[in-house]
Amino acid sequence: MYDQSDPRAALSTASGTASAGRGAAGFAPAQFGLFDRLAPAESSKDARCWYLRGQNFVLNYIEAQAGACFARHAQPDEYALIVPDAEMALAVDTGDESVEVSGGSVVFVPPGYSVVRSKAAGRIVRLVTSRSTDMMAKALNAEAYRDARPEIPPFEAWPPAADGPRIRVYPLVVAPEPGRFGTIYRCSTFMINAIDPLEGPRDATRLSPHHHDDFEQCSLAVEGSFVHYLRWPWTTNLEHWREDEHALCGSPSAVVIPPPAIHTSRAVGEGLNRLVDIFSPPRLDFSQRPGWVLNAGDYPMPRTPAM
């Protein structure tokens, strides 16, 4: 259910009513990573790291000092970096190429060897898929995914870049345009959507409650504060019903929203509020909207989409 001014109102999945026939084994809860409140999983003089996973991915939130290095020696597939702070700077090296990355960027890094070096103090968010089992095991909520969730199809990567593997860098936020939703990029493993930054609270009369049938959404708060509203459908089995959640989360934080929970998020901070939505693999419906995925020319669509 979207306000008619919301570009997502044209999506075929915009009904906002989840199927009551789901949930024979009960619905999964949301997963929260309150990085502003929790002790880091790893801490050194160079960096503090937190890990939160979904079924298909893990989010590694990092507060890095200048000179910190983060290497992947045999990365099985393409991974992503989000560099939210304008004053941050990175060098990304794969052995075949080295690229300087300024703050306020999204970076896609090819599989195999790579190292990310922080050239200034700031924040880095690494996103890897479930094929990176070493990082998945570090997640604060690893036990929640001890058993795979049957409502979410097994991860299947989308096609690689048409011109071959290389480091790709894009601006995290692009000026809004009428009819376009956020700033969206995709690679073979992730879709990243930086929601348009909002100064002050979101209009409470123009929220966007909706659901997804078979994929999770990760919403990463990088600035400000948000209330995440979550409601699960009722089924014939009362034991499977879940209470509504109105979760107030500051920044940095992340929430993994399960299907088919009806959800919407409202910025409530008085200053600047910035939210980034993450999907793995990429969303087909967003990819099919002309002009929404800003790097669509770099990555082909799957011939038979993984749905």
Class at the top of the CATH hierarchy for domain 7-287 = mainly beta
Q: What does the alpha-carbon distance between residue 298 and residue 286 come to, in Å, rounded to a whole number?
A: 16
**Contact partners, residue 205, CB within 8 Å, separation at least 6:** none
**Which pair of structure tokens corresponds to residue 278?**
């993450």
| Residue 29 near residue 242 (C-beta atoms within 8 A) | yes
| SS3 track for 58-123 | EEEEEEECCCCEEEEEEECCCEEEEECCCCCEEEEECCCCEEEEECCEEEEECCEEEEEEECCCEE
**Helix (H), strand (E) at residue 295:** none
| SS3 track for 239-273 | HHCCCCEEEEECCCEEEEECCCCEEEEEECCCCEE
pLDDT tens profile 166-221: 999 999 999 999 999 999 999 999 999 999 999 999 999 999 999 999 999 999 99
Determine which of 18-22, 47-51, 114-118 has the lowest per-residue pLDDT on average: 18-22
Q: Domain spans of the chain? A: 7-287
Say what the pTM is: 0.93
pLDDT tens profile 120-170: 999 999 999 999 999 999 999 999 999 999 999 999 999 999 999 999 999
